[in-house]
Each structure stands twice: as C-alpha cells, then as structure tokens.
Amino acid sequence: MNESGGGTLSFSNSYDVNNFEVIEVPEDILASFDAGDVLEIIGREDNKAVLITNKRSYALRSVESSNTQLLVKFPNEPAQKKRRVDKENGERKKIPVYGSITRHHALMPI
C-alpha cells in the first residue's frame, strides 16, 4: 500500500449539494487579493453580479458542469505527518467531504 496516497472519503454530517459558491479566479485577481486589495461583488437579485477590483470590473457568469466536484478539507498536519495511512494499523485516514458542486462562476472582463 502506498503510504503517501490519499485516504478514504467520508461524507460529513454537514454535507450539502451546491451549498457553496465557487469563483474561478485568474492569477492577476488572486495577486490583488493576496496584496490586500479590496474585491467587491455588486448587483441585485434581478441583475447580473459584477466583481470590482481596484483596476477592473468583471461580469460573473454561472458555468454548469456535467461533473460533480467534491469539496474536502484535509486536516492541518505538520509536513512529516501528511501520510494518509495510519502507520500503526495500516488503515487509510478518513477525509471528510463537506459538499459538492456542479457549477462555478467564471469572470468575464467588462
């Protein structure tokens, strides 16, 4: 058994489908966010949403997918303990699945 491999997926009690909103973000916006710039999403329920940065505005477009993406959270462990298999009993560690999505939002410059 590969000790550096994954683990066993386990659906958490709080698992929910499409309860998350995911935005595909280009590198320049991610760099702005990391630099502390303000990102704001504006719009009303009856309007299309717009993401505004210090330099540009982007229309948010919903993109459907035929593939389901599972959202997991790996435990915060030191690098030497990132092994997904318990050395003592050989069992795979459980990785909780908190939700899944079938759509995400893409940004289109305007």
- Side chain identity at 1, as an amino acid letter? M
Mean pLDDT, each 10-residue run in order, the chain (110 residues): 59 77 88 90 86 90 88 65 56 80 90
pTM of the predicted protein model: 0.62
Beta carbons within 10 angstroms of residue 29's beta carbon: 19
Please give the helix or strand (H or E) that residue 71 lies within, else none.
strand 57-72
Question: Distance (Å, rounded) from C-alpha 91 to C-alpha 105?
Answer: 37
Q: Quick one: pLDDT at residue 109?
A: 92
The 3-state DSSP class for residue 60 equals strand
